[in-house]
Amino acid sequence: MAPPPFRADHIGSLKRPDDLLRARAAVDAGKMTKEQLRPIEEVAIKNVVALQKEVGIKSITDGEFSRHMFFDGFFNNLEGMELVKNPPREYFNMWVPDIKGFFESHAEKPADVILCRGKLVRNKPMYRPEFELLKTFLKPEEVGGAKITLCAPEWFHLRHIPHAYPKEVYADDAAYFADIAKAYRAELADLYGAGCRSVQFDDPILAYFCSESMLAGMKAEGYDSDAMLDSYIKLYNDCIEGRPKDMVVGVHLCRGNFKNGMHFSEGGYDKISRKLFQELNADTFYLEYDTERAGGFEPLADLPAHKTVVLGLVTSKFPKLEDKGALIARIKEAASFMGEAGLERLMISPQCGFASHEEGNDMTHDDVKKKLQLVVEVSKAVWSDA
């Protein structure tokens, strides 16, 4: 099998089966233990792996079936971070696009707020248990293509500054970020040791820097958005510094994919493309492109020749299938902005996961299967190596 990323890809989360959702709700209600939940999760993961194989997806994930939200796994397992129950409103920066959405959502279980309360130390595996379980449902030759999705390292910073960490623990952002990066380097090394060769950071925050409303909100409160983006790019580079050359690192940008496909922000990539593509040392970028709110393909001209892009052209928000011919035309249009051999540096996927929140988007399991099949069919129509 060729190394990832693959011509037909997907972002990670898949529609959870009803029995898994009922079991997780029972755990939340104290009516079932996590030990009783485990075998139900394992069966669900086994089945969703089989689905991906059936439709021809090689970047196999566990569907994020052991998580409540897409960003679970890192900070909730990092010593020094604590879950804040009933956080006061002043802990939130309302200019961050998804904050307003979370406050107004009708999700039965809103997103957790986890903040630094002590020195940050990685003292146990975080994502490796997920990967080890996923491996049990794969053939040896399939393991190298399997993918683990990761929380954005700045996730709980932008949303909650100046409450992200206590000043008596960290004097400034640089010190706080240094320990996050140290923990991520250790986690990536652990994943690599388990056989993982493909990781994908899921990061709406970076796309929010395309949002005029957020940039205006930051300016009004005295934050320098350019300097903040620079600090986040440095944080990423510090997190992935020293990774093995055959470990592929992707970064996924989207503008929100909450319950039933709610999005939070708009704005094309042109505001950040040169800095992001050329300075953040990822191998590939997964870019939302299923609606006009992501802008045009022109920013792809800023992508260095050694990096690739997975075009999120198929929506995971709604069940209606895109026209195959229209998708092929859009891929070719995107390639036209990328110079010679542009088409060879492109792949296709849905724009986001099908269940970033455990309740998922408004589509059936059969709808999800058809969307993934469409991605595979289009890839084979465009690329001979798909």
Q: What are the tokens at 19?
A: 């029995």
Instruction: Answer whether residue 31 shows pLDDT above 70.
Output: yes
Instruction: Answer whether residue 100 shows pLDDT above 80.
Output: no
**Pairwise CA distance, residues 148 & 191, whole Å:** 9
Nearest partner of 74 among 34, 116, 41, judged by Cα: 116
- Alpha-helical runs (H) found in 89-150: 97-104, 128-135
Q: What is the pLDDT of residue 293?
A: 78
**Pairwise CA distance, residues 100 & 263, whole Å:** 11
Q: What share of the chain is helix, strand, coil (3-state, %, to 5)?
A: 45, 10, 45
Task: Characterize 98-121 residue by residue with b for buried, 16 or more Cβ atoms within 10 angstroms of its Cβ, and e for exposed.
Answer: bbebbeebebeeebbbbbbeeebe
* Residue range 236-252: mean pLDDT, rounded: 97
* Residue range 92-103: mean pLDDT, rounded: 82
Give percent of the chain above pLDDT 90: 82
Phi, psi (deg, nearest 5) at residue 378 = -65, -40
Instruction: Answer whether residue 25 shows pLDDT above 70.
Output: yes
Nearest partner of 232 among 311, 273, 173, judged by Cα: 173
Average pLDDT, the chain: 93
In this structure, the number of other CB atoms found within 10 A of the CB of residue 172 comes to 10
pLDDT in tens, 295-319: 899 999 999 999 999 999 999 989 9
pLDDT in tens, 230-239: 999 999 999 9
